[in-house]
Amino acid sequence: MQDGFERLWTPHRLVYLQELQQPADEDCPFCSAPDKDPEDGLVVRKGETCFVLLNLFPYNPGHMLVCPYRHVDTYDKATDQELAEMAKLTQEAMATLEKVNRVHGFNIGMNQGEVAGAGIASHLHQHIVPRWRNDANFFPIIAQTKAMPRLLGEVRETISNNWVEKA
């Protein structure tokens, strides 16, 4: 019986499901990033309760994450202040990417918990993925490769230096 869905078979991703590649809480990369040099931590913006950093394994150039400083795992455990600042920083990140990269759209979302696909399940983070018309090609599917036109350090510097603040 057909259900109307096309299938994209990606058996190479099975390792993520089988090995549950999650760091221990004491090794959380989101907890340590704000204390590092911004270049090493890939941090582009710091707020009072949250910060923004580049994704070390981006889906597209400029793929950012908004995280609370506090080590909390799910959205329902974040404080009202953290939620408000996550929203503000998300808006600013979008405006910044529109300014510096002329994006055509965004994917914004959260994966809550390992079963939902969170790469770092123990620390809440929201993805901001810039999108452009025709930004997908055969590389990720056929060659398991994502073509990235700029180095992370260059992307971090450009975004950080051109951050658009929301009043």
Exactly one of 63, 123, 125, 127 is catalytic; name it.
Answer: 125
Active site residue 125: yes
Question: Residues 140-157: pLDDT tens digits?
Answer: 555 566 667 788 889 999
3-state helix, strand, coil in the chain (%, to 5): 40, 15, 45
Q: Which residue has the tokens 């790469």?
A: 119
Which two structure tokens, joined as six digits, stand for 125?
Answer: 């983070």
Longest dimension (CA), the chain: 55
**Token pair 């990417």 is at which residue?**
97
- Model-level pTM? 0.80
Q: Are 64 and 128 in contact (CB under 8 A)?
A: yes
> In tens digits, what is the pLDDT along the chain, a chain of 167 residues?
566 666 656 665 555 455 556 677 788 999 999 999 999 999 999 999 999 999 988 888 899 999 999 999 999 999 999 999 999 999 999 999 999 999 999 999 998 888 877 778 899 999 999 998 877 655 555 556 666 778 888 999 999 999 999 87
Whole-angstrom distance, CA of residue 50 vs CA of residue 42: 14
The CATH number assigned to the domain with range 12-159 reads 3.30.428.10
The pLDDT score that the predictor gives to residue 157 is 93
Domain map (residue ranges) of the chain: 12-159
